[in-house]
Amino acid sequence: MKRNFPYLFFLILLLLVTIAFFGLIKDYLLALFWAIVLALLFNNIYDVILAKVAGKKNLASALTLTLILVVVIVPVFAVGYAVVSEGVNYYQMIEAGEFDIQEKLDELKGKVPQFESFLESLSIDVEQVRSSVNTSLANFSKSLASKAFNFTQNFIGFCIEFFLMLYVLYFFLRDGKWLTERLVWVLPIGDEKEWALIRRFESVAKATVKGSLVVAIVQGTVGGLLFYLVGIPAAILWGVLMTLVSLLPLGSGIIWLPAAIILYSQGQVAKAIIIVAVGALIIGLLDNFLRPRLVGNDTKIPDYLILLSTLGGLTWFGISGFVLGPIIAAFFITCWEMMGEGLAPDR
């Protein structure tokens, strides 16, 4: 017992110090997480730039960081600003009575009499649908307006996290391989298992961002451009909504199909046909065409578990949950597989 006391004391001290450290940085963990993800995604580009600048790591890291700003971060900020602006405009239109979803549904019911009977055959109350849709749209617009206000209120905190992410990303790009080797050296679960977990994290992070997110962005971009070309207002807002629903099994059809039905009810048959054709033949098939080429079988996670982990990730971590959720699920599967292999009898 006396021999083990110093070791146990040190383990307790290590645990307490680790908890205290993560308590200190807990508000910035998501910034660190995205720095790690971006470092993984752009690591190959960093290696190419490093070779071009004769092995100057600081210069290569700075050039890669500049590329990330231009290619990823600036476009995300531009789209986010446009979405918030359009959401606020919608909210103002609803408050002023310029846009009434109930009136639109009344027009649809008058021009397509079968619509109401179809809903009634499904035991759906048309009046309740009208009220719910109008309330949901108003709440969504109010939510965007509220988030825009909160963003301005928390602008200083956001700037701190953003620049912290860029600062840490610079060092992760430059020293990523060394940091990974040190992590493997420190962890006490065996180098083979540690490298397996690291590779799992890397593959799922890349697959989620390159696959799910890129495919969803392409689908949302095509959908937003389609809405713009047929004259539907707030095309950027609807394009971003299609991006979000494309990340889930719901699919972007829940956005473009009702739009086609509304246009058809308004007598704009050609536009409705264009939306259905592009939605079914292009937007709908993009997932089947792009995902296998961008992801392959990297995640090796069942579809139902991806859905559950994505929804759970959104609940816990907000927008970052699209990536964090599947990563946690992958770790869950990998750790239990390791446990099974460790306890399995020798054959």
Give me the residue spans of the domains in the chain: 27-174, 188-340
pLDDT of residue 3: 61
Gap between the Cα atoms of 311 and 214, Å rounded: 18
- The whole-model pTM stands at 0.67
Which residues of the chain fall short of a pLDDT of 70? 1-3, 5, 87-88, 90-155, 248-250, 288, 291-300, 303, 341-347
pLDDT of residue 346: 47
- Tell me the two tokens of residue 66: 């500049």
pLDDT of residue 136: 60
Query: What is the DSSP secondary-structure string of 169-221?
Result: HHHHHHHHHHHHHHHHHH-SS-HHHHHHHHHHHHHHHHIIIIIIIHHHHHHHH
Gap between the Cα atoms of 84 and 230, Å rounded: 22
Report the run of H or E that residue 270 belongs to, with start and end: helix 269-278
| Polymer length in residues for the chain | 347
pLDDT of residue 178: 86
pLDDT of residue 194: 78
pLDDT of residue 251: 73
pLDDT of residue 60: 92
Gap between the Cα atoms of 162 and 145, Å rounded: 22
Q: How far apart are the first and last CA of the chain?
A: 37
H helices of 266-346, in order, are: 269-278, 284-294, 303-317, 321-343
pLDDT of residue 61: 93
Angle between helices 191-206 and 29-41 (to 10 degrees): 80
pLDDT of residue 156: 74
Gap between the Cα atoms of 282 and 184, Å rounded: 45
